[in-house]
Amino acid sequence: MAKDRNEPDLDRELPDLPPELRWREWMRRIEAVLFASASPVAREDLARVVGQGTSVDLLIEDLSADLDGRAFEIAQVAGGWMFRTRAAYAPAIRAAADVGDQLLDLSEFDVAVLAAIAYHQPIARDGLKGIFGKEISRDLIGRLHARDLIGTGPRSPRRGAPYTFVTTEQFLVAFGLESLRDLPDREQLEDAGVVGEAPQVDFG
């Protein structure tokens, strides 16, 4: 979603530049914004730094072509774009860089619980118990919540109105997904035992 802020005193149209240099400058502006941003930048925000009616998608496409062969790329995630290191360089980064909290460091079971939440959201802890056949600890839910991978959804319309859980924008960013529609095929994950059937709850 576009951020609500006053636009700086910025010459967006660049009328004094020839078309080719104008396009190049708009590309560099988008590159600078993506480089400086810690989260995905929406199309509406990128449009603030280029000429009116200019295609942000085409600028991103040309900038991506410029980055071909580099160690990083532009990824479309969570409804916007951001810079991301190419997966091939992950071992080198882990070996030499101080990435601190950027590493998810999730167990296979943590990932399985995240997948179940993603496919069945909003889902309560008893729904997760129905999938995995055991109670999901509050500590595990707390860890996922502390990393902003899940948030609380609507209260379930049942006795006690338990909290439900949903995935967050950070979940999409962490797993490089543009939206939940980009999740792997659910049937394959069910066959692998990663997700299962959850009780259906009507929130209508």
Residue 41: pLDDT over 90: yes
Number of domains in the chain: 2
Same domain, 109 and 186: yes
d(CA 184, CA 167): 15
State which of 95, 122, 143 marks the end of a domain.
95
Residue 71: half-sphere exposure toward Cβ, Cα within 13 Å = 5
Residue 203 placed within a domain? no
d(CA 17, CA 25): 9
pTM above 0.75, yes or no: no
Q: pLDDT tens digits for 22-35?
A: 999 999 999 999 98
Residue 197 placed within a domain? no
Same domain, 84 and 141: no
Residue 38: pLDDT over 70: yes
If you write DSSP's letter for every residue of the chain in order, what string do you get? -----PPPS--SS-TTS-HHHHHHHHHHHHHHHHHH-SS-B-HHHHGGGS-TT--HHHHHHHHHHHTTTSSEEEEEETTEEEEEE-GGGHHHHHHH---GGGS----HHHHHHHHHHHHH-SB-HHHHHHHHSSPPPHHHHHHHHHTTSEEE-PPPSSTT----EEE-HHHHHHTT-SSGGGSPPHHHHHHTTSS---------
Same domain, 43 and 90: yes
Q: pLDDT tens digits for 57-99?
A: 999 999 999 989 888 889 888 889 988 888 787 788 778 866 5
Same domain, 118 and 166: yes
* 166 phi/psi in degrees, rounded to 5: -135, 160
Residue 146 placed within a domain? yes
* pLDDT recorded at residue 33: 93
Residue 10 placed within a domain? no
Same domain, 182 and 126: yes
**Residue whose pair of structure tokens reads 């959201």 in the numeric block:** 121
State which of 61, 95, 129 marks the end of a domain.
95
Q: Which domain holds residue 150?
A: 104-191
Residue 6 placed within a domain? no
**Residue whose pair of structure tokens reads 């995630």 in the numeric block:** 77
Same domain, 110 and 91: no
* pLDDT recorded at residue 199: 42
For residue 5, name the pLDDT band (cuts at 50, 70, 90): low
Same domain, 81 and 109: no
CATH number of the structural domain spanning residue 49: 1.10.10.10
